[in-house]
């Protein structure tokens, strides 16, 4: 009887523990849903309607979201930890779930994320600029609390969030609004008036064209992959996704950021490699190319009818929207799609020929990349050595290369070289490059940066690995690179 009562008491405690864990799981799921909606819908649309402070206004919005979500995460994880470690009256642990979870449920990615979080925390406590490092610079906002919130959200979303398609779909109207506004702004139209229009490089409700390009790439190509992988029977959804992609491609091809065109070519090339396996996959790929070429063709017509309407020309914009390229792409895509339909109905798909074409294309792209790098190195070391190509700034690595990325990388490498061994290990603190450049770096480095940027306002290295290496040190860089 005594043994039975002990066994029954233990079972009741475990049930109580399990019920609380379930409630905590629901709490984490609910708060994660709110956080996702905040980040995916509210943050992109939030603005003071003024380009002068659009960056700082986004940072304020991000900080507010991270503050309340980090508190919810802290409360949720603390309760779960206490529940997992609670003991019965004789001191016997019932929280074996935590140990089992750490031993069996953590992937290498989990350990890398946790390692990056610890490196960020260590870098903050060892920083000389903790007042800035806590939340980050007002113009960038990637301080310790923000980054730890991202780390915590990773574990909360991966463990407790129940996937809801409607939540991800809610982000599409928000991004579509930004695509529409950006496209209108590129032709001097402002459906939402902005108090101060600094330059044509600031568009939509995001700001600088590079920020805008970086924002639009992820949702646009996520939807492109979804549309490419969609079942042929889901025609209504396919039409909706095609319309979204059409609007997105309108905005991307007129954005003006060079990186956007490179990513566009890269993504479509990768999809082509995956599409040649069968006629159905190639047909889906041709549909995406058709949507892309139609969007470019529409812009081509607008630019021909209103040649002076466009407010900015940059990157490969003219190639995509003022040349014969979109017409050729459209004709090729339509012809190949007709052939794919024939092959799907009657068979005879030349899979081996397309597979060989894909391999040759991959080899050709790799060789073109190596040749391009070689040309840049040769022309940089020996100016004028590559003939007519020497006249193009792209083939000379200098401070101006890549919209001043050359200067940013050079300054960042000088900062890294100037750090002490301990600082190289733990970093100077999250989001502290600007602060260190102003107050902690060698004066020669400061003067060099000031000669490029009069206010020496360099908040990051414009290369993620190099930024993390300086701010979170070798410990943070190893974890960050391990994530990729």
**Is the pLDDT assigned to residue 8 strictly greater than 70?**
no
Cβ atoms of residues 261 and 316 within 8 Å: yes
- pLDDT at residue 7 in the model: 47
Provide the pLDDT confidence category of residue 117 given band limits of 50, 70 and 90: very high
With beta carbons less than 8 A apart as the criterion, state whether 472 and 427 touch: yes
Output the CA torsion sign for 445, 447, 452, 455: positive
- Is pLDDT above 90 for 285? yes
What pLDDT, on the 0 to 100 scale, is given for residue 12? 66
Backbone angles phi, psi at 202, to 5 degrees: -110, 115
Which pLDDT belongs to residue 96? 53
Tens digit of each residue's pLDDT (9 = 90 or more) over 390-404: 877 778 888 888 778
Among 72-86, 111-125, 179-193, the range scoring the smallest mean pLDDT is 72-86
Residue 146 confidence class, pLDDT cut points 50, 70, 90 = very high
The C-alpha atoms of residue 412 and residue 441 are separated, in whole angstroms, by: 11
CA angle 454-458-40, nearest 5°?
A: 130
Measured CA to CA in angstroms, residue 59 lies from 36, 72, 263 at distances of 16, 20, 26
- The C-alpha atoms of residue 346 and residue 11 are separated, in whole angstroms, by 64
Contacts of 438 by beta carbon, 8 Å cutoff, 6+ apart? 446, 456
Q: Is the pLDDT at 232 greater than 60, yes or no?
A: yes
Query: Is residue 122 very low, low, confident or very high in pLDDT (cuts 50, 70, 90)?
Result: very high
Q: Say how many residues make up the chain.
A: 484
As a three-state string, the secondary structure of 261-281 is HHHHHHHHHHHHHHHCCCHHH
pLDDT above 80 (res 233):
no
Window from 23-27, 104-108, 277-281 with minimum mean pLDDT: 104-108
Q: For residue 92, what pLDDT band results from cuts at 50, 70 and 90? A: very low
pLDDT at 89 exceeding the cut of 50: no
- Integer Cα distance of 308 and 155 in angstroms: 51
How high is the pLDDT of residue 286? 94
pLDDT, tens digit, for every residue of 238-271? 899 999 999 999 999 998 887 888 899 999 999 9
Q: Exposed, middle or buried by CB within 10 Å (0-12, 13-18, 19+), for 367?
A: exposed
Mean pLDDT of 202-227: 89
Q: Are 185 and 203 in contact (CB under 8 A)?
A: yes
Residue with tokens 């995916």: 40
In DSSP terms, which residues pair with 93 in a beta bridge?
87
Q: Which residue has the tokens 């001097």?
A: 188
pLDDT at 91 over 50: no
Return mean pLDDT, the chain.
Answer: 86
Mind listing the pLDDT tens digit for each residue in 29-73? 999 999 999 998 999 999 888 888 888 888 999 999 999 999 998
What pLDDT score does 84 carry? Answer: 67
Inter-axis angle of helices 235-253 and 209-228, nearest 10: 160
* Residue 190 CB neighbours (<10 A): 11
């Amino acid at each position: 009887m005594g043994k039975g009562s002990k066994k029954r008491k233990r079972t009741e405690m475990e049930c109580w523990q399990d019920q609380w864990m379930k409630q905590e799981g629901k709490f984490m799921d609910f708060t994660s849903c709110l956080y996702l909606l905040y980040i995916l819908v509210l943050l992109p649309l939030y603005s003071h309607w003024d380009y002068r402070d659009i960056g700082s206004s986004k940072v304020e919005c991000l900080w507010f979201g991270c503050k309340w979500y980090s508190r919810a995460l802290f409360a949720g994880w603390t309760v779960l930890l206490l529940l997992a470690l609670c003991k019965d009256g004789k001191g016997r642990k019932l929280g074996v779930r935590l140990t089992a979870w750490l031993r069996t449920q953590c992937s290498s990615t989990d350990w890398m994320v946790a390692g990056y979080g610890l490196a960020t925390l260590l870098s903050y406590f060892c920083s000389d600029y903790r007042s800035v490092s806590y939340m980050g610079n007002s113009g960038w906002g990637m301080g310790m609390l923000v980054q730890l919130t991202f780390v915590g959200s990773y574990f909360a979303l991966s463990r407790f969030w129940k996937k809801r398609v409607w939540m991800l779909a809610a982000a599409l109207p928000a991004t579509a609004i930004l695509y529409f506004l950006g496209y209108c702004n590129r032709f001097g139209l402002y459906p939402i008036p902005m108090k101060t229009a600094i330059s044509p490089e600031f568009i939509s409700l995001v700001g600088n064209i590079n920020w805008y390009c970086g924002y639009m790439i992820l949702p646009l190509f996520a939807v492109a992959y979804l549309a490419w992988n969609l079942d042929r029977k889901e025609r209504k959804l396919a039409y909706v996704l095609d319309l979204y992609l059409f609007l997105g491609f309108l905005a991307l091809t007129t954005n003006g950021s060079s990186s956007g065109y490179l990513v566009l070519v890269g993504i479509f090339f990768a999809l082509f490699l995956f599409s040649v396996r069968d006629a159905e996959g190639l047909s889906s790929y041709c549909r995406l190319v058709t949507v892309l070429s139609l969007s470019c063709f529409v812009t081509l017509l607008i630019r021909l009818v209103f040649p002076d309407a466009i407010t900015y020309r940059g990157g490969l914009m003219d190639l995509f929207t003022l040349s014969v390229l979109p017409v050729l792409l459209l004709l090729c895509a339509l012809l190949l799609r007709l052939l794919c339909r024939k092959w799907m109905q009657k068979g005879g798909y030349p899979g081996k020929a397309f597979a060989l074409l894909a391999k040759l294309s991959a080899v050709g792209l790799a060789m073109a990349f190596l040749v391009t790098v070689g040309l840049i190195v040769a022309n940089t070391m020996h100016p004028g050595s590559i003939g007519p190509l020497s006249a193009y700034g792209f083939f000379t690595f200098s401070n101006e290369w890549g919209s001043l990325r050359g200067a940013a990388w050079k300054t960042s490498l000088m900062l890294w070289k100037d750090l002490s061994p301990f600082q190289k290990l733990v970093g100077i603190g999250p989001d502290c490059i600007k602060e260190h450049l102003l107050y902690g770096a060698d004066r020669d480095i400061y003067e060099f940066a000031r000669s490029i940027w009069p206010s020496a306002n360099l908040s990051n290295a414009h290369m993620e690995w190099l930024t993390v290496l300086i701010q979170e040190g070798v410990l943070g860089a190893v974890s960050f690179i391990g994530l990729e």
